[in-house]
Amino acid sequence: MNCLRCVLALAMWLAFSLMPPVHAQIVNPPLTKPVDARAINPLTTSATQYKIDVWQTEQGLPLNTVQAMYQSRTGYLWVGTAGGLARFDGIRFTTFESSAVPELVSGPIFGFMEDVEGNLWIGHRRGAARYRNGRFEPAFDNELLQGKRVWAFAQGRDGVVWAASENGLLRWEKDKGVTKIYKEADGLPTNRLRTLDFDKDGTLWIGTTGGGLISFASEKFSVMNPTNGFPHLEVRHVLADPAGGVWAATAGAGLVHVALGQTKSYGVVDGLPTDQLTYLARDKAGSLWIGTWGAGVSRMSDGKFSTISSSGGLTGDQIWAVHVDREGSAWVGTWNGGLNRVSSRPFGVFGKPEGLSSDNVRSVIHTRDGATWVAMAGGGVNRIGEGRITPVTKKEGLATDEASSLLEDRDGSIWIGTYTEGVARLKLGKLEKFGIARGIPNVDVRVVFQDRAGIVWAGTHAGLARFNGHDFVPVRDAGAPLEVITTIFEDRSGVLWIGTAGQGLVRYRNGVFETLTRKEGLVSNWILALYEDAAGTLWIGSNGEGMNRLKNGRIAGIRTADGLWDGIAQVIIEDKTGYLWMTCNRGFFRVPRAELDAFADGKIARVTSAGFGPGHSLRSSTFAGGLQPAGAIDGKGHLWLPSLKGLVIVDPQQLPGSDDPPPVMVEDVSVNGVSGPPEAEIILPPGSVPLSIRYTAGTLLNADRVRFRYQLDGITQKWVEAGKSREASFPALPHGAYQFRVAATIDGKRWQEASGPLSITVKPHYYQTPWFAALAVFASLAAAAALFRLRTHRLHQRHDEMERIVAEKTEALRLANEHLSQLSFVDALTGLANRRRLDETLDTEWRRACRMQTSIAIVIADIDAFKAYNDTLGHPEGDKCLVAVAEVIRQAAGRAGDFAARYGGEEFFILIPGLDHAAAIAYADKLRQACEAQAIPHPASPVGPVVTISLGVAACVPSEKAQVATLIAEADSALYRAKKEGRNRVC
């Protein structure tokens, strides 16, 4: 029986092997789907191009019902919730406890306005409050409002403040100090007012609950309602039109524009998702943002509506309020989903939300017919052209949806490399498969390339194959690459260059294969990208070690230590202005080619590169690599870069802002635990009184990218780098006068200092004052003149007492100074040495090892998936995790001379004099095991259930020409490999 099965199997194999090649014809054209023109060009903002950030009670919001928002001139975003008032600086929420206005603490807040003097008006459930000079005060007499809520404010050109309440219209004049109220008896159709705004002509427009829309001019009310052409009685918000008139958001009749007696309505038939509207705001471009009740937020631009709802990322579709800040972000307050920020991405993104079959884009080409072809892991291939997306997937006959690479043949055919089924060719509507049976050495194909002679080459995980017109033929010549092939390129002289994942760079000329590796000067044997510039220079990108220039037979290396933003170059594309663009696993970056040439020629010491990564609102900072082409440039000069979350489209002429430093200000001073607003001068009592100074930066959009530094004249001679920390603490200051300065930066190069230093005075004890010393001398002289003999002994006693007191105070001052000195070298959270102490120790130990010619080892450790740990368990638990890991490292660095420091957020640095490379690796592995043995739960770790660390190790015996920065770079590179190879390991 078994023999019979074997015979049948052999017969079937012979039958299939002798069959002619199989051609899958796409009998019916692939289904195509139309795409919004704005989505086809993501450089034009469409709804899918916005980034949405969310803050809720877990991040400090008093309550997830957000009813009002306003950005004051200082840059703060004031947030009114159903559970009280908060002030937001982009990072943290500050809440208030005011006995003067208790309604602000936990009651609902409904409206804000900042007047011309900088006072903030706040409407709440029982009236209104005013915030000025850091303090709150009631704004109106409660007898006028009778405990009713205030919804909104407006200030006229004459400085008069108006307020819309549920008990009528209030008019407040500062000069007269009186408030007048208008009610139904004065001509209002109802006392229940909701909103108000002045138009450009000075007319006050008032929206009501049940009374329609009102205009107020020349002390006369004019009412618009369904009886005279206005479509609804409930107006939830009004917003003046800069061109004249006013926009009104109604509770059932959509959006209404009123100007010059004419009324125009916009509703569902015009593109709004609902006629139930709640709020209006205008951005810098003049577009109207419209809050709805039940359908999210809409944007009206050039008469067209686009909508973002919960299906697009909002945390709620019931919108209370909308506010556009000075940086162009739209803030959306929801009924129960917290605070949402909708901001434009600085780069266009084209992925699944825009119509692609999958987000995981691996390769992209622009074909001669003007179309764009996209290969995706899990999504097959899509063709973008003529305003449509045409899929080529398993459904249309492709053998697999795991597409890896693309090539346009000279005859117009499209070659498709895949991860699991070899190569496919789409020609004249027919799909033809080329797998193992047709000469492909391995079904995992990363490169399909056509040389000038028209020969098509396939680079696979098992070497190279050449197409003979019918089938592929494996290349097994002497020297031919037999490992993973990542890129193929033919230079202008006809030489074929083949990049491999570990074998180096293979050169094929005159029928002979030659290999270039590190021995010949390559920075790495893992090659990812090749590019030839107009001068015939070959640029070579590696997988983590930097890049090479090959010119006139000479190889030069450029690394991160030389100025590259990252050591990975997965693609190299040159734009029209002479910049080389590269992608990596944390974004993408550009470098002037002229600087790279100058560095390689020894004319400059460092190149300048600009990187774009997580801080630039990318959907993903991981980009495709190890295949070809991992990027393309279109006819307009736009770069198309495949990423894990769609194609990122970059216009080199329209890059994000210059990252100018934001304004910085001191917002709070705490003396001995009691906080308050900063005064013109801070006076501290005598003695050791703790002082804490909280500061912030005036940017909401880039708040997470801001870095700070501060200086206290008289204590810190240099700037103290504070990183992201927004607080400076001084446990004990000696008596005297000080000046506190703080500055902020985004790019680390340009800094902006606070408008003026904060003056701090610490009062002396009575015995430290000049008058006390003078008084003591005078008393001594008087006593000596009157009772010289009698007082001599007592004077000696007093002198001795004074010396004892001075000695005690001097010792206390010395101890305080020593304490401050220690604090300046210690990381406040972990207790390990800080970066400043590390730099000094590293320099000392390096010079000692160089002098003694002994080995020195460096270990850099990084907590695996720490961001996911913070996101899952919160920053307090993250701090506990850092302290626990630091303790393990402190115990491990127990030998005399061992030194441990906190190197960054979740990175640690261990300096071990006297250890060679093997011993350092063993030391690092014990440290890794000790950390894992702590068994700290990590529910979001991709490595395991507990917190683990990855470690990079480097060791050497220094020479006079060597630099410690090189050793650090090697350890950092080793750490990166440890992360790359799966984490929880030592490299």
Say if residue 12's pLDDT is above 50.
no
Angle at alpha carbon of residue 917, lines to 913 and 923, rounded to 5°: 70
Question: Which pLDDT belongs to residue 5?
Answer: 37
Question: What would the two tokens of residue 210 be?
Answer: 């049940």
Cα–Cα distance for residue pair 455/451, rounded to 1 Å? 6
Does the bond joining 629 to the residue before it have cis omega, within 30 degrees of 0?
A: yes
% of the chain with per-residue pLDDT over 90:
66
Instruction: Work out whether the CA dihedral 34, 39, 44, 50 comes out positive or negative.
Output: positive
Look at the alpha carbons of 403, 406, 410, 412 in this order and tell me if their dihedral is positive or negative.
positive
Look up residue 605 and give its two tokens.
């010491």
Point out which residues pair with 380 in neighbouring strands.
376
8 Å CB contact between 377 and 358: yes
Structure tokens at 356: 């692609």
Instruction: Give the DSSP letter of residue 940.
Output: T
pLDDT of 13 above 70 = no
pLDDT of 826: 83
Instruction: Please say if the pLDDT value at position 26 is more than 60.
Output: no
Per-residue pLDDT at 495: 97
Q: Which residue has the tokens 């501060």?
A: 710
Following CA atoms 567, 573, 576, 580 in sequence, which dihedral angle do they give, to the nearest 10 degrees?
A: 10
Look at residue 48 and tell me whether its pLDDT is greater than 90.
no
| pLDDT at residue 363, rounded to an integer | 98
Tell me the one-letter amino acid at 529.
A
The 3-state DSSP class for residue 667 equals: strand
Residue range 150-167: average pLDDT?
97
Write the DSSP symbol of residue 918: H
Give the pLDDT of residue 106.
Answer: 85
Residue 92 contacts residue 85 (beta carbons within 8 Å): no
pLDDT-based confidence at residue 431 (cuts at 50, 70, 90): very high
Q: What pLDDT is attached to residue 85?
A: 96
CA distance 16 to 437: 10
CA distance 116 to 553: 69
Range of weakest confidence among 184-188, 499-503, 776-780: 776-780
Distance of CA 700 to the CA centre of its chain: 12
Nearest-Å Rg of the Cα atoms of the chain is 35
Q: Give pLDDT tens digits for 263-297.
A: 999 999 999 999 999 999 999 989 999 999 999 99
Q: Which residues pair with 406 in a beta bridge?
A: 416
- Beta-bridge partner residues of 952: 860
At residue 654, the pLDDT reads 85
pLDDT digits (tens, 9 = 90+) for 666-698: 998 999 888 888 887 888 888 878 999 999 999
**Can you give the pLDDT at residue 8?**
32
- Read off the pLDDT band of 644 (50, 70, 90): very high
The yes-or-no verdict on residue 4 having pLDDT over 70 is: no
Q: Where are the alpha helices (DSSP H) in 532-670?
A: 593-600
User: Which distant-in-sequence residues (6+ apart) come within 8 Å of 790 by Cβ?
Assistant: none
What value does the mean pLDDT take over residues 706-734? 92
Place of tokens 């020479």: 959
Residue 982 in 3-state DSSP? Answer: coil
- For the segment 83-123, what is each residue's pLDDT rounded down to a tens digit? 999 999 999 999 987 777 888 888 999 999 999 999 999 99
Structure tokens at 393: 């997937």
Cα separation values, 350 from 363, 642, 773, Å: 13, 9, 77
Pairing of strands 646-650, 639-643: antiparallel
Residue 812 pLDDT class (50, 70, 90 cuts): low
Tokens of 267: 């509703």
Q: What is the pLDDT of residue 45?
A: 56
The whole-number pLDDT of residue 658 equals 60
How far, in Å, CA of 319 to CA of 12, rounded? 66
819/23 Cα distance (integer angstroms)? 80
- What are the distances in angstroms from CA 959 to CA 847, 915, 956, 971, 972? 9, 16, 9, 18, 20
Predicted pLDDT at 795 = 73
Stretch 312-322: mean pLDDT: 96
Find, among 340, 344, 262, 255, the residue nearest to 304 by Cα.
255
Question: What's residue 17's pLDDT?
Answer: 32
Q: How far is CA 969 from CA 231, 526, 685, in A?
A: 69, 18, 49
Angle 467-468-471 (CA atoms, 0-180°, nearest 5)? 70
**E strands present in 658-751:** 664-671, 674-676, 681-684, 691-697, 707-713, 720-723, 727-730, 736-745
pLDDT at residue 892 in the model: 82
* Closest by Cα among 468, 342, 461, 363 to 69: 342
pLDDT tens-digit readout, 356-402: 999 999 999 999 999 999 999 999 999 999 889 999 999 999 999 99
Segment 453-463 mean pLDDT: 97
The predicted model gives 850-864 an average pLDDT of 90
Torsion sign, CA atoms 929, 934, 939, 945: positive
Residue type for 727, please? E
Pick from 23-27, 842-846, 891-895, 965-969: least confident: 23-27
Cα 962 to Cα 397: distance, rounded to the nearest angstrom: 59
CA angle 144, 149, 151 (to 5 degrees): 110
What is residue 824's predicted lDDT score, i.e. its pLDDT? Answer: 60
pLDDT class of 783 with cuts at 50, 70, 90: low
Average pLDDT over the chain reads: 89
What DSSP state is assigned to residue 767? G
Amino acid at 587: G
Task: Answer yes or no: are the C-beta atoms of 969 and 559 closer than 8 Å.
Answer: yes
Q: What pTM did the predictor assign?
A: 0.68
pLDDT score for 784:
66
Residue 218 neighbours by CB distance under 10 Å = 5
Contacts of 224 (CB under 8 A, 6+ apart): 212, 213, 214, 215, 230, 258, 263
Burial class (CB in 10 A: 0-12, 13-18, 19+), 622: middle
Q: Which helix (H) or strand (E) holds 44?
A: none
Please report which confidence band the pLDDT of residue 566 belongs to, taking 50, 70 and 90 as the band edges.
Answer: very high
Q: Which residue has the tokens 């190890």?
A: 626
Residue 6 has pLDDT above 50, yes or no: no
- How far apart CA 933 and CA 925 sit, in angstroms, is 12
Query: Which range among 14-23, 149-158, 862-871, 932-941 has the greatest average pLDDT?
Result: 149-158
The DSSP string of 507-563 is EEETTEEEEE-GGGT-S-SBEEEEEE-TTS-EEEEEBSS-EEEEETTEEEEE-GGGT
How far is CA 144 from each of CA 114, 139, 149, 150, 355, rounded to the nearest angstrom? 22, 11, 11, 12, 57
Separation of alpha carbons 888 and 867, rounded Å: 20
In the block, tokens 């850092």 appear at 882
pLDDT number for residue 27: 34
Q: Write out the DSSP string of 830-892.
A: T-SB-HHHHHHHHHHHHHHHHHHT--EEEEEEEETTHHHHHHHH-HHHHHHHHHHHHHHHHHH
Tell me what pLDDT residue 415 has.
98
Interhelix angle 770-786/788-823, rounded to 10 degrees, is 160
Provide the token pair at 742.
């703080």
CA angle 134, 137, 143 (to 5 degrees): 170
* Structure token pair of residue 836: 């400043």
Neighbours of 644 (CB within 10 A): 18
**Residues, the chain, total?**
987
